[in-house]
Amino acid sequence: MLLILFVILVALVFEYINGFHDTANSIATVVATKVLTPRQAVFMAAVTNLAGALSGSAVASTIGKGLVDIQYVTPATVLCGLLGGIAWNLITWWKGLPSSSSHAIIGGLVGSTLGVSHGDWKVIKFFEDKSKIVSVLDPATGAMVERTVVEHGGLVPKVIVPMFTSPVIGLVLGFLVMGLLYFLLRKARPRFVNRFFGNAQLLSSCWMGFSHGLNDAQKTMGIIALSLVAATSAGAFTGLPDFLSFLRTPSPEAGKALEVAVWIKVVCALTMAAGTYAGGWRIIRTLGHKMVKLHAVHGFAAETSAATIIGLASHWGIPLSTTHVISSCIMGVGSAKSVRSVKWLVVERMVWAWVFTIPVTAGIGYGLVRLFGLG
């Protein structure tokens, strides 16, 4: 019982770190363009992250059930995975590198589960097709009918493929949106452009914050729900007092999504909001100042492009790296201005951090399991 509570505590520590580590994802551009002061921007991000975190659970279900065989997951497994993600997040935060908290926690969980299984790669769900029943409108009768659809999931389609495609999509979309704005505003006065997009960026940054919460906060929700499923299956909550019965979380049936309790959503959302308010100024400087010089119109283009991509991914339960998306959108926007305006040496450092996130955190998670003899 104490181990379960400790795992939940560590998961919330990760969520808090995620809040200040990824704060820059939603506010770096609005701070860099001086539309808001850093304190105003952080408060706005905390509120919008909170709203987004409470608005869905598709990503949490993917993390909690769709990546590894939950039969091999114990609270200790989850703890080792979390520690791997936390270690990498703190290292990259200290270096000011906007790495992916999403991939950090996924890598840690995959590595620790692999360690528990003694290196049995079958415990990792690289590909998983599952059927689910959905209600659709029958055009012939005008009535709602149930249909069985096949959903393609697993580590490769849900994590690996988006890891490579989302930055490319962000780069291209940011470039196209900024290019379109340049065309539409080619005769506009700079004063009008700055005033209009200064206001418009308030909306785009709120949308970005909401999308960030909708996707990023759900990773920890899924981890906590997964821990409680493992503990319930192992009988750790046998004889639990009635006032703690909310901790019991039965394993979901085959083909059904992992339901995330409301209290988990609320606690994770509030923790991320608190972490966001703590700020993450090292990474803000990298995204908002070191990579490319931004004005309000650039910030609007980058945030709108990134929020659109993240929102769509969240709808499909894809645990996207919001860091990768907003960073690549900023690169695309900067490239539309001038390829030389992007400081590609800074970008190179970021890309290496992206590439190493999953392997390093998986290695740490695996190593901790073997070190403590949990496998």
> In this predicted model, what pLDDT tens digit does every residue of 281-321 receive, in sequence order?
555 655 555 556 778 898 899 999 999 999 998 888 888 88
Provide the residue type at 66 as one letter. Answer: G
Q: For residues 328 and 345, which has the higher predicted lDDT (pLDDT)?
A: 328
Burial pattern 189-205, b for ≥16 Cβ within 10 A else e, equals: eeeeeeeebbebbbebb
Q: Is 122 in a helix, a strand, or coil?
A: helix
- pLDDT, position 282: 58
* pLDDT on residue 142: 73
Question: Distance from CA of residue 340 to its chain's centroid?
Answer: 30
The rounded distance, in Å, linking the Cα atoms of 301 and 297 is 6
Query: How confident is the model at residue 289, as a pLDDT?
Result: 52
Mean pLDDT, residues 338-356: 79
- Across 329-338, average pLDDT: 87
Give tens-digit pLDDT for 164-215.
899 899 999 999 999 999 999 998 998 899 889 988 988 998 998 898 888 8
Give the integer Cα–Cα distance in Å for 309 and 279. 24
Give yes or no for residue 115 having a pLDDT over 90. yes
